[in-house]
Amino acid sequence: MLRKLQVHLRDTFSVPARIMKTMSVPEGSYERSRNQYNSTRILREILKETPPDAIKILGIVDRDLCIPILTFVFGEAQLGGVASIVALARLRQEFYGLSPDDGILFERLCKETLHELGHNFGLIHCNDRECIMYLSNTVRDVDRKGTTYCGSCDSVLYLKTDPWRVQPWNRR
């Protein structure tokens, strides 16, 4: 799934993507009272792993993440910054008592990954319900929105990724 995602990210941003070594879940990120992991704490550790030649770094964790003010988060990103994180737990059908489905999981993972990386490239939430930058509060919201950026988010990305682009921008 990571390799498929790598190709998807490269094709979306026209910037090379590389898979890094697996990190262990940072000590102290587990919140016993909630049986969840502190997203911001893990994000901070991911940031420390940023290779000198990388422009962004994304962590994918197979855990349920939260931040103090929200019961859960699908992911978190530094707005206009370097690091982001996506949690698999609530993207899995099993979480909702359904049979596992790798196809559905991959589509949700792509959407949430592009959403968080969009924040890294400076995009804020978009009012277009079809746009990947639309805020998802539930997995139903994730499924309902489209798989790409709307025209206006796309044009911001075009400018932000310009210095690193190695492939043609083929979405317009």
Length of the chain: 172
Q: How far apart are CA 149 and CA 126, in angstroms?
A: 9
Q: Which of 45, 76, 112, 116 is catalytic?
A: 116
Does 153 engage in binding with Zn ion (CB under 5 A)? yes
Tokens of 99: 């049979």
Cβ-based nearer residue to Zn ion, 89 or 150: 150
Which residue type sits at 163?
A: P
Residue 140 CB partners (closer than 8 Å, separation 6+):
none
Taking CB under 5 A as the criterion, which residues in 109-148 touch Zn ion?
126, 128, 131, 133
Taking the complex as a whole, the smallest distance from the CB of residue 105 to Zn ion amounts, in Å, to 19
| Number of residues located near Zn ion, criterion CB under 5 A | 6
Q: Does 157 help bind Zn ion (rule: CB under 5 A)?
A: no
CA angle 113, 115, 121 (to 5 degrees): 100
Q: Nearest approach, Cβ of 152 to Zn ion (angstroms)?
A: 6
Q: Nearer Cβ to Zn ion, position 64 or 154?
A: 154
Residue with tokens 């964790």: 61
Note whether 49 and 62 are within 8 A (CB). no
Minimum distance from residue 135 beta carbon to Zn ion (Å): 6
116 in catalytic set: yes
Residues near Zn ion (CB under 5 A) are: 126, 128, 131, 133, 150, 153
Residues with a catalytic annotation lie at 116
